[in-house]
Amino acid sequence: MKAVLFDQPGPADVLRLGDFADPVPGPADLLISVKFAGVNRADLMQRQGFYPPPPGASPILGLECAGVVVEVGGEVRGWREGDRVMALLPGGGYAQKAVVDYRSAMPVPSTLSDHEAAAIPEVYLTAFLNLFLLAGVKPGETVLVHGGGSGVGTASIQLLNFIGARTIVTAGSDAKCEQCLKFGATVAINYNAGPFAPRVRAATNDRGVDVILDSIGAAYLMPNIEALAHGGRLLIIGLMKGAKAEIDLSQVLRRHIKIFGSTLRSRSSAEKGEIISAFLEQFGQKLHAGEIRPPIYKVVPMTEAASAHRMMQASEHFGKIVLAIS
């Protein structure tokens, strides 16, 4: 099969189209003929050599895809050849064929196109896992989401709006803040126009936010704590600005702050299956009604995967970039 490959970690130019052995499905797997693959920030890190695939996963990039089931393992329940599918992958999406444990797959509702479906699993399940399963966000709470224009950010805005939570986002320009507000954020803060924490406190009558979804890491650790309300929950899901920071633990103690860290990719198929079941239970109707719909910034042919990576690196996108696999 054709796949987007790289021989050595490096800049986007290392990506090339090449031939790779077809994946072989195990008894609990679906073999998918991939039509589209979502591009994620983690793919850029893997390409640079900073985020190796978990043991046993495909070395090919790609954490989510959509396509058609072409083969079904003997232990698989509920799937048939010819079904439209979107899947959360531990790797392997940037290729004409991918295998996935059936518990990591979701049927594609008729209301969604294949390229929209390919942009759903990684970011919506990350947002759902962290905001709902780990932090237990409730209607009426206020959540700060860093990178409101990102794949995870836009998914978070959408899911939080469904339950009636207020969303404050950060973004790097007034134009992107405007896009976030149009997409449903309650407040948008341009992080390049000064420190975000005082503006978050001002936007919450100095109370602070109940929950923060953070993908920035070290540089935002103390300002995040400043922006949290008493008893607030901080979810760390990314380290775009560093992994090592100093923390004033007296703030954590006195203000009853809870800090969570998590990754989705490294979880077992059983855990991923439980997250997907819980997501479909809470948001399945919205998904089927076509109300869960990722904003697609651009669909790029797989032959131009390097340009898709450069686009994401420059953060010129709002929402998702998707590769068309041909």
Ligand X SMILES: NC(=O)c1ccc[n+]([C@@H]2O[C@H](COP(=O)([O-])OP(=O)(O)OC[C@H]3O[C@@H](n4cnc5c(N)ncnc54)[C@H](OP(=O)(O)O)[C@@H]3O)[C@@H](O)[C@H]2O)c1
Would you tell me which residues interact with ligand X (CB under 6 A)?
A: 40-42, 122-123, 126, 146-147, 149-152, 170-172, 176, 191, 215-216, 237-238, 240-241, 262-264, 312, 315
Half-sphere exposure of 94 (CA within 13 A, CB side): 32
Least gap, CB of 253 to ligand X (angstroms): 26
Q: Which is nearer to ligand X, 277 or 326 (CB)?
A: 277
Q: Which residues does 235 contact at the CB level (< 8 Å), separation at least 6?
A: 130, 131, 134, 135, 211, 212, 213, 214, 260, 261, 262
Residue nearest to ligand X (CB): 238
Question: Element (H or E) spanning 233, and its range?
Answer: strand 228-236
Nearer to ligand X, 20 or 156 (CB): 156
- CB of 19: closest distance to ligand X in angstroms? 28
User: What is the number of residues in the chain?
Assistant: 326
Angle (nearest 5°) at CA 185 between 184 and 186 = 115
- How far apart, in whole angstroms, are the C-alpha atoms of residue 34 and residue 98? 7
Give the largest Cα separation in the chain, rounded: 58
CB of 90 vs ligand X, minimal distance in Å: 12
Q: Considering the complex, what minimum distance in angstroms separates the CB of residue 221 from ligand X?
A: 12
Residue 70 or 218: the one with the smaller Cβ distance to ligand X is 218
Question: Among residues 51 and 162, whose Cβ is nearest to ligand X?
Answer: 51
Least distance between ligand X and beta carbon 157 (Å) = 12
Question: Of 72 and 171, which has the nearer Cβ to ligand X?
Answer: 171
φ, ψ of residue 95 to 5 degrees: the values are -155, 165
Cβ distance 219 to 241 under 8 Å?
A: yes
